[in-house]
Every structure is written in C-alpha cells, then in structure tokens.
Structure 1
Amino acid sequence: MQQHPINGQNKILIVEDQFIEANNLQEMLEQAGYSISGIARSVSGALNMIDMDRPDMVLVDIFLKGPLTGIDLAKTLRQRNIPFIYLSANSNKQTLDAAKATRPYGFLVKPFRESDVITMMDIASYLHTNSLETQAYEDKQKSSSTSQPRLANIIGNSEKLRTVLHQVQLVAPTDTSVLVLGESGTGKEMIADSVHQFSRRKSQPLVKVNCAALPSELIDSMLFGHEKGAFTGAHEKRIGKFEQAHGGTIFLDEIGEICPLSQAKLLRVLQEKQVERIGGNETIRVNVRIIAATSRNLEQEVANGKFRLDLYYRLNVFPLTVPSLRERMDDIPLLAEHFAQVHANKTGKPIKGIEEKALKQLQQYHWPGNIRELEHCIERAVLQSDGTMIRQFKTPDSPATTQQGTTRIKTMEENEREHIINVLRACEGKIFGKGGAAEILGMNVSTLNFRIKKLGIDKEKILRSPG
C-alpha cells in the first residue's frame, strides 16, 4: 500500500472519546504508513500528550464530552502551529461555521471511510506546507523595500480592492491552489489572470474552462480528453484541458456548477496529478496549478450535499474574495472613465470624459450586476452620446418624468422591469450562459424567464427599439 507520511513525518494524535471510532481510525492510519503517538479521550489528556511528544497532526472530535470541546483544543493547536483535522458525526451549516472559525486543515465526517481519511490527511499536509510557504513569502515581502508591481488591467484604489491585490501578490509566486469567490460580474477571471501573471508559471499556458457552460455529459471529455471512438461522436482524439495546461495553470470558472460524478473524477486528478483520457488506458502525468472560481456559497453547497467536502478542502487552500461594486463605490469614477474611453475608441465617438454630476449618479445606484453591469451602462451611454462629454446615465432607479415635467418615484415593479430590459439590451437578448442576463442579474434562468413573462416584457420588441 502507498505510504502517506506528512512531509517525512508521521506522528498522529487522535483525540476521540468514542473507543471504537478511535481504534478504527488508528487502524486505517497505521495501514497507510502513519504512526499514532497516542489516543486521548479529553482535551486535558490531549494537552498532556502534546507536552510530552509534539505530534505532526491532530485528529480531534469537535463535540468531546466534558467541560472543554474540540474547538477549545483547536484554538491551542492554532497557537502552537500544529495542524489539525476535525472529526464530527455531521456536516451541517452550524458545524461548518464552528469549523471555519478556528480554520482547521480538514474535516472528516463519521462513519469514516479509509479512502476519505487518507485523502484528508494528504489535503491537510498540503494546506499546512503551503501556509508555511506563504507566511515565509509574506515575511520576505515585508522586509523588502522594493515596491509591488501593479496588476495589469485591474482598475481601482479602494481599500478592499487593495487588500485583494496584496493577497494576489502573496500567493502568486507559490504553487498554492487558489479559490476566487465573489458575486457574478465582480471580475473573478481578472483576478485569476493576475495570479498567473505573477506566478513562476507565467510563461506557460493559462487554460480557462467555464464549467457552467459545459453540459454534464461533455465536461469529462473537455477536462480529461478522449480517444477516437471512445463514444458516439468521438471521431478523433481530443487532448483535455488538464493536458493542455501541463506546466502552467488551469482556471476552473464556476466550479460549483459541476455534477457530483465529475467532482469525484476531478478530485482524483488533483490528488494523483494524472489523467486518463476517456476510452484510453494510458496514464498521463500532469503538472498544473489550480485556480477555481465560483459565485456560489460552496460551504452551503457542502452542507446541502451538493458539493464534496474533500474537494472543497482541496480547492479552498487560499481563498480570495473579490468585493462587490457596492463595497468599492470609490472606484466607480476610475472604472467609468476607463470604460468610456474603451468604448469611445471602439465606436469612434469623440468622448473626452464624464461630467461630475453623471459620475455621482453612478455612485448612487446599487449595481447588482457589479462591474459587468456598469460597463454595459457606460457602453449604452457612449452609443447614445452626441457630444464630447457624457452628461447623464440611464440606470434602473432613474426617476420617471410625467407629461407636466415633474418627477415621480417609480414603483418596485417599474424599477425591476426597466432594469431587466436594460440588462437584456446590454446582453443583446442572451438569457443563459456566461455574460447572459441571468448571470448578470444573479437569477436562475427559470426565475428570470418567469419575471420576463410576468412583467410583460417583449424581448424581441425591446431589442428592435433604441432603448
């Protein structure tokens, strides 16, 4: 059987008050090549064992009986920089929230399966090693007097954006897996581009896969490739995305959309660093860095049983949360001027800038579609402009004007109808898929189609009208 020592060290402390479960864990780990330094039944017993013989990893039950719980022990382990994995009988949201607060290196749900235990040990080792590498890099950067390079194509100077960009510069030079989180339209793909841009792999391929756009029956072929004749329609051999990214980086956009079966296959590739094409017998080694992104709450998806816990921990090594546009309103003038010039150059319009009053108007809107919605709004304004300055924008919360010239407050339904119409125009009627109206609005396709019908929106008519 393959040995799984933690970076050459393998002393494991089990903290579990259930005798049978503790002994089952011990047997699984010893068969895999680990050495068990002891089994503790309480927090006080565990601390005594740690003082006598510091372990390389601790497996600790969250809900130990007694005055102190596994969470109490975890806080001490964090202080002493000892990696730990939580053990629990369930993986509901309350348990995951408790786990998240103490930042564990893994999570095992009872009853334990040997394959899950060994996989989680590998993940915990990987997380701990890379956290040390990242800390060393951060310390080096703090002691360096050189200025940080600017990340290309990312515009803004707000505090929340600067925090994310600092994290990008910390993690980019390592090979650590990165999970980019954030609402639709916030620029997650550009963050992924920046991680690759400042990595050691920047001269190698950055291969992008939009998981949301791939039917479940095709995603395995797209990721891992297939041989000629592997299935109906496989008229020639296809090299999968992982092979294409060998030596470089693979960006798995909207990773939360892939089905459970493909999640299992993806996890195996990440663990073993090798792929097999569909219909083939050859094992192909791949050396890729993983960057994944999602607009879903993966922790909630795990709690709902829709996303694998072990895959979540494999991906969530270094999370980067991209702020929504609502959280960085100070960046809107810079973004607006940039988009105005981009689209002026594309259309040949003589736009020189945006009036201050119009910029303030942009900062008063809440931008549910984030930067993507902002760009579409400015593109429309450029197309409709007949001068050198943009004087106003049409946003869904703009006041309606009566025949007498006075203004009135629009109803919620009027605002919603106008907002959906504006987004449909910006997307040229595209409903689903990347850049579609459903993605920009953060709605399910079925929900959006229902709202379009209920609000009496004639898609074909609005696309023919100037807007």
Structure 2
Amino acid sequence: MKEKILIVEDEFIVANDLKIMLQKAGYQIVGIASSVVQARKLIEEKKPDWVLLDIMLKGDLTGIDLAWELREMNLPFLYISANTNQSTLEAVKATQPYGFMVKPFRERDLIVMLDIAKYRFNEEKGSLEQTKIDNEIHEIEGIVGNSPLLNEVIEKIKIVAPAETSVLILGESGTGKERVAHAIHDLSQHKSNPIVIVNCAALPQSLIESELFGHEKGAFTGANSLRIGKFEQANNGTIFLDEIGELPLDSQVKLLRVLQEKEIQRLGGNKTIKINVRIVAATNRSLEKEVAEGRFRLDLYYRLNVFPIQLPTLKERKEDIEALANHFLKKYAASSRRNVSNISPSALEQLKNYDWPGNIRELEHLIERNVLLAKSTEIEKFDLASDTSVPFEVVPTGEMKSMEEMEKDHIMNALQRCNGKVSGPGGAAEMLKMQPQTLYSKMKKLGIKQDYN
C-alpha cells in the first residue's frame, strides 16, 4: 500500500512540483494545504502517513506551529523551506523534525531525505519498543562505566550499529568520540573490513580532495603516482570523519555528492568509482550554529545527522571516574612495566571532585603520567592542573569578542604558557587537550605564526 503524504506549502508551483516528484517515486499525495487551518482539516479527513511542511504559510500560524501539533499526534513530518536563519533553525530543532530540506533541491535529494526521515522515524519507534521489551544494558568492549548517561549511549550504539545509516557523534573534545566510532564499526556487518580514521581539521586545505578521494598520476604538480583516497581505502568498511565541522564549504559540497551518489572520482580522473562505505562523523562544534552562520551546509548537516549520539562530559558522569581511572591504571602499568596497582581513597576523591575540562582524555593522560611518577605500588595523590581557560573579554567598544577571536586568544595564551612549545610533553597541545596536528591546523587557520615553535 502506498504511503500517504500531505503537502503543506503556500506556493502553488513548489507544491505542484513536490506532488509530481513524490507521485513519480510511488507516494500517494492526499492533498495540498496552504495554511495551518487547511492542513488540520486534511489531516483529520485523509489520515496521512507523513507531512511535508513549509515554514512560512498563509494566515497567522506558521509551519512550526503546526509541527508542535503533529508531534502531539505522533504524525511524522519534515520541513521544506528556504528559511535558514539561526532563530528559525533553533525553533525548528525544538520541534524535533525527521528532516529539513533547503529550497531549491533536486528530485533525488528529496527522495533520499524522505528515505532518511522514514528510517529515523522507524528506528525511534523500534527503540521505544525494544526498551519496553528488554531494558538490560550489556557492556561494549573499550567503553568503560555504568552511569545512566553512558548506558543511554551504549543502547544507541547497539541500535544503530547493525544498520547502514550515517551516524553523527556529538560531544566535547576528549569525551571518547573515536572510541564510539570503533564500537559502531565493531558491531556492524562491516567489522571484518577496515575502519579508516580521517581528522578533517588536520587535512591541508589544498590537499583535502586528494586525501579523501585520491588522485591520478599527473593530476597536479607533484602527483608522481596514483593515490588511493580515504573513501576508497574504506570501501566495504567504515570511514570516521572526525571534526567534520572543520571542513571548508567547497569540500562539503563534494562530500555531500559522494554521500548521495555513493561514488567518487579521483582528482584528475575521468571515471567514477562506486563505493560502499558506512559514514560515521563527529564534531565538538554546534553544527546548527555553523549552519546559521554560513560555515556549514544545511543539506550536509541533515544528511549526516540521521542518527545523532550525544556523548556526556566526564563531569556529567562522575560515577564512572573510579572505573575509568582503574582501567587506565591497569593499561599503563602493563605497557610501562611498572608495579602500580592501586589508587588511594583520598586520591580517588580528588578525581571525583575535579571538573575535568579535558574529559576522559585528560583523565587518561593524568593516570599515565602518575603511573610513571609513582614511587610505590599505590598512587597516593594527584597534582591536578589548575583551570587554564581564558575568561571572556570585552573589547573597548563594549562588544563581545567573536568565537574565532576567543579561540585565537586561548591558543596564544597556551603557547605563551608553554614558551612556544606546541607538541610533546608540556606542550600547548597537551595543555589544550587536543591532538598536535589539530592545533597546528587551527594555528594556520587563525593566522598564528609558527614563530612560536
């Protein structure tokens, strides 16, 4: 039986085009409404399975007003709109849509987005039903802890891992996003094939296309041999695009095309190569804010954000600190061949009372360092670093500094504290809890000269 769709759109030409596209794809269009009042009547009479919803409609009520009513009815919907300012996006996000299409768009994009929306809706229903049937959480190798927030993450991993859908892992730096990506891969049907890790922040802008999609010999000066790109390396496996929010806009366009078409073209090549790759992406940025400020494509955001997993900070799951600390103690005592087997109760209290701005990565580095420094079989005390964050400053005009200015100030402050040392023990990268290559990339992007090295 064909799925029934109601189109809520006040521009006749747009609505008619949608109708033709959807009918061609096998859907039944039960009506077109130009206002919320008309939509309510058609919903009651026609009982649609899905609603395609514009934001700006005739009358006093908007598509966002109708979206709240659809939520009450448990009737799934997705937005189709040209309005992408930040306040609108925040209002849209609050209604929890199953997708957002930006006008204008291709027919193929509409059908793909609708397929994604249906998948998200079915997964949500399946998750709720499974939770009712079986509320038991089983451990996943490499993910340590048993707090309620972590158990929610584990359950989401178990739900999404067997599927082919894209996953977007959200969370602060150091919360374990790469570990979650590995867990998704290890529990998927791709587990016998490679997982390829790509740090988008560390890719040189001039070489991004070559790194991701490869190049033919002679494609550009210095291309002396064929290069297989990361997507091709990950064929039949998983590609983990870490720090996806750092990709420049032109690269985002090319990535979106690969995700939609499931094929790549090497730089300098003239043939397309079909690929079968599971996409897992991660970011510590607010992609909605990046979209609103024009730095991230909304269509790519919704293509990646099929199944988001939000990772809690370590501060939010302090009940896991003891288990994590003992896990890292065992790991680094073995790797360094040190006879350190215990953390004193008072030292554990220190860990539990600390706020962990660097999250799990900061805890891991602390345990590793103290295993090496321990004078007995027990770590008796931790020398926890003081907060190195830079307070928000007000420029002389009274305006708040931009995020880029704040980030630049923060990095400059760390470099000054470390006497210009970027990487290695005691370097700015360690202080800022980030990978050295990521810091180098940010320094280049923000115009921080290498004179500090």
Q: TM-score, length-normalised on structure 1?
A: 0.80
CA–CA distance in 2 between the matches of 1:222 and 1:426?
26
What is the aligned partner in structure 2 of residue 212 from structure 1?
201
AA partner of residue 222 (structure 2)? G
What is the aligned partner in structure 2 of residue 3 from structure 1?
none
The answer to whether structure 1 residue 390 and structure 2 residue 379 are counterparts is yes
AA partner of residue 115 (structure 2)? S
Superposed, which structure 2 residues align to 1:411-422 within 5 Å?
none
What is the aligned partner in structure 2 of residue 38 from structure 1?
31
What is the aligned partner in structure 2 of residue 350 from structure 1?
339
What is the aligned partner in structure 1 of residue 301 from structure 2?
312
1:183-204 alpha-carbon deviations (Å, 9 max, x no partner): 0011000011111111122222
CA–CA distance in 2 between the matches of 1:274 and 1:11?
31
What is the aligned partner in structure 1 of residue 192 from structure 2?
203
What is the aligned partner in structure 2 of residue 27 from structure 1?
17
What is the aligned partner in structure 1 of residue 357 from structure 2?
368
* Structure-2 change in CA distance of 1:48 and 1:449 (3 Å): closer
CA–CA distance in 1 between the matches of 2:62 and 2:88?
13
What is the aligned partner in structure 2 of residue 429 from structure 1?
427
AA partner of residue 337 (structure 1)? N
1:325-366 alpha-carbon deviations (Å, 9 max, x no partner): 111112111111222222222222221201111111112221
AA partner of residue 42 (structure 1)? S
AA partner of residue 43 (structure 1)? V
What is the aligned partner in structure 1 of residue 125 from structure 2?
135
Question: Which of residues 81, 86, 91 in structure 1 aligns to 2:79?
Answer: 86
CA–CA distance in 1 between the matches of 2:134 and 2:18?
46
Q: TM-score, length-normalised on structure 2?
A: 0.83
Larger radius of gyration: 1
The answer to whether structure 1 residue 95 and structure 2 residue 88 are counterparts is yes
* Structure-2 change in CA distance of 1:325 and 1:59 (3 Å): same
Give the number of equivalent residue pairs: 424
* Structure-2 change in CA distance of 1:114 and 1:310 (3 Å): closer
Structure 1 contact 395–419 (Cα < 8 Å) conserved: no
Q: How far did 1:308 drift?
A: 0.3
What is the aligned partner in structure 2 of residue 113 from structure 1?
104
Structure 1 contact 158–328 (Cα < 8 Å) conserved: yes
Instruction: Identify unmatched segments of 5+ residues in structure 2.
Output: 388-409
Structure 2 contact 215–267 (Cα < 8 Å) conserved: yes
AA partner of residue 436 (structure 1)? Q
* Structure-2 change in CA distance of 1:28 and 1:161 (3 Å): closer
Q: How far did 1:16 drift?
A: 2.6
CA–CA distance in 2 between the matches of 1:294 and 1:427?
25
Q: How far did 1:127 drift?
A: 2.4
The answer to whether structure 1 residue 58 and structure 2 residue 51 are counterparts is yes
CA RMSD of aligned residues (A): 3.5
Instruction: Identify unmatched segments of 5+ residues in structure 1.
Output: 1-7, 399-412, 454-458, 461-467
Question: Which of residues 265, 275, 278 in structure 2 aligns to 1:286?
Answer: 275
Q: How far did 1:130 drift?
A: 4.2
Structure 1 contact 134–174 (Cα < 8 Å) conserved: no
Structure 1 contact 211–252 (Cα < 8 Å) conserved: yes
